[in-house]
Amino acid sequence: MGAIRLEAVEKWFGAAQVIKGVDLEVADGEFVIFVGPSGCGKSTLLRLISGLEEVSRGHIRIDGRDVTAEPPSGRGLAMVFQSYALYPHMTVRENMGFGLKTAGAPKAEIAAKVDAAAQVLKLEPMLDRRPKDLSGGQRQRVAIGRSIVREPSAFLFDEPLSNLDASLRVEMRFEIAKLHRDLAATMIYVTHDQVEAMTLADKIVVLSAGQIEQVGSPRTLYERPDNLFVAQFIGSPK
Ligand code: ADP
Ligand code: MG
């Protein structure tokens, strides 16, 4: 579960075309990273996959099923943003279980799923704390925990670490790599940090002005860039 396929996907905002015919195949369990300059369409592409934006032309399939017209709730994906607003008055346990509670899940099931997610994320000692008593990295883990309990078929991350300081970013990078191994879930991850891309990705998608410049393993992009844009982008320190 969790294979995603984009077929000739286009997105127009009024007269402006921001996604210009993207074809992409993401295998079940793959870790795919979108990189590219600011404004090239990374967030828009993620929002199209999640259903938060409507595709103008083309199709999106999840496990072979055409979900182009499905609302976000019908797609079974989890979206994790950089601004991870937690409910300040709720404990970590309540924050993580809230989505399941509003969906009407029984209490025992919610507790079991929150406990399992807390174990994966090493949040067990913090379950009764409130967000203000957590570090930035712990809060980000709670935000990820909220999506894990829904058991999505894939995770979509939009620059989840960009609000954290440098050392915490490195620490969280390891946490996310571990999460990917533990859950064996498909992950599509947007970052403008080349080091993050090179260390986390099975496959990197380099975007420029709404189009794919190259898709390949970190090693392929580094050693055999298709063009000067990819070479300069992957080679630049930041
Ligand atoms: P990135 O995430 O790569 O920085 P975005 O996907 O946010 O880029 O934006 C791609 C382009 O689409 C930009 O030119 C941006 O201004 C435009 N854009 C994004 N969302 C909207 C919107 N809701 N309405 C109009 N233009 C938008
Ligand atoms: Mg963006």
Kindly state if the Cβ of 194 falls inside 6 Å of ligand 1: no
Query: Does residue 237 carry a pLDDT above 60?
Result: no
Quick one: which ligand is closest to 44's CA? 1
Least confident of 45-59, 153-167, 189-203: 153-167
Query: Does residue 238 carry a pLDDT above 80?
Result: no
Q: What is the pLDDT of residue 172?
A: 84
Query: CB burial class (10 A; 0-12, 13-18, 19+) of residue 129?
Result: middle
Closest ligand 1 atom to Cα of 190: 2
Kindly report, residue by residue over 18-34, the tens digit of the pLDDT.
Answer: 999 999 999 999 999 99
pLDDT band at residue 83, thresholds of 50, 70 and 90? low
Query: CB burial class (10 A; 0-12, 13-18, 19+) of residue 132?
Result: exposed
Percent of the chain at pLDDT > 70 equals 97
Q: What is the mean pLDDT of residues 45-63?
A: 97
Distance CA 167, CA 160 (A): 15
How many whole angstroms from 128 Cα to the centroid of ligand 1?
A: 39
Q: What is the pLDDT of residue 38?
A: 92
Higher pLDDT, residue 85 or 145: 145
Candidate from 13, 19, 53, 54 with most ligand 1 atoms within 8 A of CB, to mutate: 13
Task: Detail the DSSP E strand segments found in the chain.
Answer: 4-13, 16-26, 31-35, 57-62, 65-66, 77-80, 154-158, 186-190, 203-208, 211-216
Q: What is the mean pLDDT of residues 37-50?
A: 96
Kindly state if the Cβ of 191 falls inside 6 Å of ligand 1: no
Kindly state if the Cβ of 47 falls inside 6 Å of ligand 1: no
Task: Check if the beta carbon of residue 233 is closer than 8 Å to that of residue 34.
Answer: no
Model-level pTM?
A: 0.91
Task: Check if the beta carbon of residue 225 is closer than 8 Å to that of residue 214.
Answer: yes
Kindly state if the Cβ of 41 falls inside 6 Å of ligand 1: yes
Query: CB burial class (10 A; 0-12, 13-18, 19+) of residue 104?
Result: exposed
Amino acid at 160: P
Kindly state if the Cβ of 117 falls inside 6 Å of ligand 1: no
Kindly state if the Cβ of 206 falls inside 6 Å of ligand 1: no
- Which residues have CB atoms below 5 A from the ion given as ligand 2? 43
